[in-house]
Amino acid sequence: MGGKRIGRLVLAATAAWGLAASAARAGEITFWTWRQEDKAAYTELFNDFTKANPDIHVKFEAFAPENYATIVSAALAGGRGGDVLHVRAYGGLEQFAKAGYLMPLDPQTVPELANLPDDAKAAETLRADGKVYAVSFASQTLGLLINKDVFAKAGVQPPETWDQLLSVSRTLKDKGIIPIANGTATAWMDEVFTGIFTGPFLGTAFVQDILAGRATFEDPRYVAALGRLLELRDFLPPGYTGIDYATGQQLFLSGRAAMFAGGSFEIANFRKQNPKLALDFIAPPAPKAGEPRYVSKFYDGGYAVNAKAANKADATRLVRWMGTKEYGDKFSALLGNISPIKGVVIQDPLLAQVAKLNDVSMPYIMAVHFRYESPTGSELLQGAVQRMLAGNLTPQQVGAEVTQGIARYYVPFQKK
């Protein structure tokens, strides 16, 4: 999208904020988000808040995801913007918190922070000052989505080990079924695909070695794990290099493909598109029987208070409420996401099953640890894996390319 178009969007957004600001003094606060599709759920949630806080009304305002960061940045730079903001986690949070646009949250002003696990708070923490700037709203888990009907008709069981994955995939392919729906044309999904299938071969020890400076992405463990991805190419859709995210989803939803490598964020969407889908979600296969089947986990983002909110006190009251079990219970029920709030009861059996998988999890490494500087680890990995799966790079070259890119700013890699 051109700069003029984005500029008009920013002007429109900030003008809308100006109108909302005067209303906020009369008891209205605005909530900015990129999730237009969640408006009905948030309207219900905010109605619950207003019932308990009748002096406060929350106005929902959504912007297109591809423009959201630009609009919010421009608005906040001008001392404007929503009172409460949907923000990303990790590096996505840092650009706003570092600039002083967000109000730091502490246990005195937001005691509900105690309801969140440490890794959820870390996801919304500015590294420079160690302060938390948002209440985390959801965790996401990466694994394999299974069409149970397709598996049953083919007479196969969901794989638990790598060898079983290859065997099951051969059987499915022999029966005219695409084993794995994913293509490689959508770069960010290549990172998801990589995280899912390499995770069990790496485990938490590898992540610890990376963070301690004892290893790089040229480590034999990482290179060997990347090599495993090449074994899956025969089980992807024909012409997989041209298959994008949406097309892969449809291959799975239509029953033409048996598995989809994706995240827990797919569950609600898949059910909406195909209510009859017999869906399951499993951890990726272990290298060998009895070994851990690590899922990759990350936090999606959080709820932050604009440091220059027209009504900061009421905005803080809303964010505090968004950190309660009451909110988390209903959020999970309405939106089909896993709330990180302690004690939340997940009523949906499949979502509860996914939450249980998080007991054996590892960080989604590039998103959690290497999205703070440029080029991000995600950018480097996505492009390199895309070329590797197309046959244009070796796993060794991918590891070297990613390591060299991150070494521009990550000191431990500069010593290797």
Domains of the chain: 3-139+300-358 (3.40.190.10), 140-297+362-414 (3.40.190.10)
pLDDT tier at 27, thresholds 50, 70, 90: confident
pTM: 0.92
Rounded to 5 degrees, what are φ and ψ at 144? -110, 125
The per-residue pLDDT for 26 is 56
**Residue whose structure tokens are 């290893």:** 215
The per-residue pLDDT for 91 is 96
Rounded to 5 degrees, what are φ and ψ at 377? -60, -35
Q: Which of 122, 29, 71, 64 is nearest to 322 (CA)?
A: 29
Question: Could you read off the pLDDT of 246-269 as tens digits, one per residue?
Answer: 999 999 999 999 999 999 999 999
Q: Which of 101, 33, 57 is nearest to 300 (CA)?
A: 33
Does pLDDT of 192 surpass 50?
Answer: yes
pLDDT tier at 8, thresholds 50, 70, 90: low
Please give the helix or strand (H or E) that residue 416 lies within, else none: none
Question: Could you read off the pLDDT of 354-392 as tens digits, one per residue?
Answer: 999 999 999 999 999 999 999 999 999 999 999 999 999
pLDDT tier at 219, thresholds 50, 70, 90: very high
Answer yes or no: are the C-beta atoms of 173 and 238 closer than 8 Å. no
Tokens in use for 247? 């097309």
The per-residue pLDDT for 51 is 98
Share of the chain above pLDDT 70, in %: 94
Does pLDDT of 24 surpass 70?
Answer: no
Question: Could you read off the pLDDT of 114-126 as tens digits, one per residue?
Answer: 999 999 999 999 9
Mean pLDDT of 147-168: 99
Question: Could you read off the pLDDT of 271-307 as tens digits, one per residue?
Answer: 999 999 999 999 999 999 999 999 999 999 999 999 9
Question: Could you read off the pLDDT of 315-348 as tens digits, one per residue?
Answer: 999 999 999 999 999 999 999 999 999 999 999 9
DSSP annotation of 340: -
Does pLDDT of 3 surpass 90?
Answer: no
- Average of per-residue pLDDT values in the chain: 95
In terms of average pLDDT, the best of 2-16, 18-32, 231-245 is: 231-245
Answer yes or no: are the C-beta atoms of 271 and 277 closer than 8 Å. yes
For every residue of the chain, which 3-state class applies, written as one string?
CCHHHHHHHHHHHHHHHHHHHHHHCCCEEEEEECCHHHHHHHHHHHHHHHHHCCCCEEEEEECCHHHHHHHHHHHHHCCCCCCEEEEECCHHHHHHHCCCCECCECCCCCHHHHHCCHHHHHHCECCCCCCECCEEEEEEEEEEEEEHHHHHHHCCCCCCEHHHHHHHHHHHHHCCCEEECCCCCCHHHHHHHHHHHHHHHHHHHHHHHHHCCCCCCCCHHHHHHHHHHHCCHHHCCCCHHHCCHHHHHHHHHCCCEEEEEEECCHHHHHHHHCCCCCEEEECCCECCCCCCCCEEEEEEEEEEEECCCCCHHHHHHHHHHCCCHHHHHHHHHHHCCECCCCCCCCCCHHHHHHHHHHHHEEECHHHHHCCCCCCCHHHHHHHHHHHHHCCCCCHHHHHHHHHHHHCCCCHHHHCC
- What's the rounded Cα separation, in Å, for the pair 400 and 394? 10
Question: Could you read off the pLDDT of 361-370 as tens digits, one per residue?
Answer: 999 999 999 9
DSSP annotation of 286: B
- What's the rounded Cα separation, in Å, for the pair 408 and 362? 25
pLDDT tier at 1, thresholds 50, 70, 90: very low
pLDDT tier at 415, thresholds 50, 70, 90: confident
Rounded to 5 degrees, what are φ and ψ at 307? -60, -25
